[in-house]
Amino acid sequence: MTETTQPILTLDVEGVSVRFGGLLALSDVSFSVAANEIVGLIGPNGAGKTTAFNVVCGFLAPSSGSVRFPALNAENLGPSQLAKAGIARTLQGVGLFDHLTVVENVMAGAQSRPGGGFLAGLFGLPVSSRRERALLGEAMTELDRLGISSFAKALPGGIPYGIAKKVAVARALMGRPRLLMLDEPASGLDESELSEFAQLITQLRETMSVLLVEHNMDFVMPLVDRLVVLDFGQVIASGTPDEIGTNEAVLAAYLGVDQ
Amino acid sequence: MKKLATLRSSMPTSARLLFTLLLTIVALGITFSLTALDDSKLAGGAAIAIVIVGLSWLIGWSGQVSLGNSGFMAIGAYATAIWANHHATTPVVFTLLLATICGAAGGLVLALPSTRLRGPYLAGMTLAFSFAITPLALNFPSVTGGSGGLFLNFLSAPKWFANLFSGSQALIRANAQWSADVAIVVAAVAFFFMANLFHSRTGRAMRLIRDNDVAAELTGVNLQRTRTLAFVISAAYAGLGGSLLTLLTGSVSPQTYSLPLSILLLTLMVLGGIGTLSGAVLGGLIYSYSDNLVSLINKVTGISSASTFGANLKGIVFGVLLILTMLLAPRGLVGMGGRLLSLVKRRSAES
């Protein structure tokens, strides 16, 4: 996509409410992510961050409001349509496939790409095996880029947590996303892994937008362009990290929960 | 730890084809040296192996447990018998294909409700289907022949093949070997296609939905469609196996394809090794020679096969074998073989 004077939004969430029975989990939530922007979704526990993520991913249908992807010409996608539209999401925890090797896990990220249909596979047509070989090469390159190719043949159960998180990211990147959604990327990582991860995300913005949910403020603050703060299912503030850092409503929400 | 993992990419199709051809030729060669009895046992084993590999695909790859595959076998078997009774001169290939398609269609119909269910509920649904088949066959005697079943001409050797044999019982030997050879070729084709699927994108989609359905969906796999596809293919293989079995025996009866057969298929699959081609072959071979094992036990222990206990001996033996496999070698004989092999390798590397 070429740069335009009026940037087209990658993600546009408008007036989304989600009701679980009598509980209003999200109330009139609006936020957006522009091209090549890194946006953080923060808030105290139970504020509705994951719910907002799940609405964007189509796991939950909003009671009202809309989720659109203007840059991708798509809206209200179901979970299995995301990848094809150019949206990748990592899961809380890591959500790897336990009985597939690391490199197979990464190859799985390209499952949505066209080519190599059922009949081609059944008859073992050259197009099918050629595609598999190409995918294998690509997955190895991706692992190499993240410096974890030595784990390629290991099973997810036998690798350190920090590595598994990288594998999950490598898998997400195999779909060549335009919007990468990271669900708590920092959880469970140590200091050096955190700074490595921050560096990686900064690199990724060259080719995609990033939306992340995170608890770790030290990780989020220097990384993102914009923050959206949720509390009790409502957006209580949004702006640059500097603006948010001095916002009284935000401080009250956090201090109120901490005590 | 720093060394770059070298990866063996999967065998190209041409190599897989060559490998299949080679194995088939060896197997065909072996049938020449077997007695008529062994040849017919082998033919039955090949038919069952086809069903097992289809079940293995469903359970081992897509993670859906089915107790209904005996029902899909029945669909293939009846389709074969009914067709053969109306069109006596149809080429075998066509009959087999027709039965495969009928099995697949049955799979599709059952998949529509079943693939919305998981785990024990799915097993329950397919169990109900398994139970329904026999009464269904009994209730439409004008089509299915009722409790007596249907009869058709079994596979017999063509003239050129029969001419290879001479001496006493030449025709019996020719027919037995011909049926074994046909069954082996059909099984080889079925296994070749399954091997292709294992290494295709479709095969990976199955493993994704088995391991983590949420993550699978996020990589773009349509859960409903993938689960349904797994069911349809499994049912097609069961239909093919049932059809082959019917052509081999020249008859079909409703009692054959009831729940015990489904359980037997599951047991054979676990014994051989879930989700593997070689495990399915082993399962088929075990099926072929299970009667020999039972009569051996009869002879050693002196249990008469006429007694109630003796009559149920086969089920008991399989039950014990199943429990032992689950305890000692959960990945079946194939997994056990692999473990032994790596043990030997390590030993020789150490010395």
pLDDT in tens, B29-38: 999 999 999 9
Distance between B160 CA and the closest CA of chain A, angstroms? 32
The pTM of the full predicted model, rounded to 2 decimals, is 0.90
CB contact under 8 A, A79 and B204: no
Say what the pLDDT of residue B207 is: 95
Distance CA A128, CA B200 (A): 7
Is a pLDDT exceeding 70 seen at residue A6? no
Domain ranges of chain B: 13-259
pLDDT attached to residue A5: 54
pLDDT band for B314, please (50, 70, 90 cuts): confident
Please name the residues in contact with B187: beta carbons below 8 A apart, sequence gap of 6 or more: B46, B47, B49, B50, B284
The nearest alpha carbon in chain A to B63 belongs to A99
* B117: Cβ contacts below 8 Å, ≥ 6 apart: B124, B125
The gap from C-alpha B17 to its chain's centroid, in whole angstroms, comes to: 20
Burial state string for A120-130 with b = 16 or more CB within 10 A and e = fewer than 16 = bbbebbeebbe
Q: Tell me the pLDDT band of B2, cut-offs 50, 70 and 90.
A: very low
pLDDT surpasses 90 at A218? no
- B6, pLDDT greater than 60: no
d(CA B112, CA B95): 26
pLDDT at B286: 94
Indicate if the pLDDT at residue A115 is higher than 90.
Answer: no
Pairing of strands B150-151, B251-252: antiparallel
Mean pLDDT calculated for residue range B10-26: 89
Token representation of residue B172? 């019996």
Q: In the structure, what pLDDT confidence band is assigned to residue A256 with cuts at 50, 70 and 90? A: low
Least confident segment among A250-259, B117-126, B167-176:
A250-259
The residue among B186 and B316 whose pLDDT is bigger is: B186
pLDDT for residue B215: 93
Q: CB contacts < 8 Å between A and B, how many? A: 127
Residue A259's pLDDT is 39
DSSP B12: P
Distance from CA of B6 to the nearest CA of A (A): 9
pLDDT per position as a tens digit, A34-65:
999 999 999 888 888 989 999 998 899 999 99
**pLDDT value at residue A148:** 92
pLDDT at residue number B7: 41
Mean pLDDT of the residues in chain B: 90
The position carrying tokens 């269910």 is B117
Radius of gyration of chain B from Cα atoms? 21
Beta bridge partners of A74: A69
CB B202 within 8 A of CB B271: no
Classify residue A259 by burial, with Cβ atoms within 10 Å: 0-12, 13-18, 19+: exposed
Record: contact A152-B17, CB cut-off 8 A:
no
User: Hey, of B8, B200, B276, which one would you mutate to test binding to chain A, going by the most A CBs within 10 A of its CB?
Assistant: B200
CB contact under 8 A, B199 and A129: yes
Which of B201, B209, B232, B240 to mutate to probe the A interface, most A CBs <10 Å?
A: B201
How far away is chain B from the Cα of A144, in angstroms, using its nearest Cα?
Answer: 9
B346 pLDDT tier (thresholds 50, 70, 90)? confident
Please state, in angstroms and rounded to a whole number, the distance separating the CA atoms of residues A32 and A38.
11
> What are B208-227's pLDDT values in tens digits?
999 999 999 999 999 999 99
What number is the ipTM of this complex? 0.87
Kindly report, residue by residue over B164-197, the tens digit of the pLDDT. Answer: 998 888 999 999 999 999 999 999 999 999 999 9
Radius of gyration (C-alpha) of chain A in whole angstroms: 19
Whether the per-residue pLDDT at B3 is higher than 50: the answer is no
Q: How many C-beta neighbours within 10 Å does residue B201 have?
A: 23
- pLDDT value at position A113? 80
Average pLDDT for B293-305 = 84
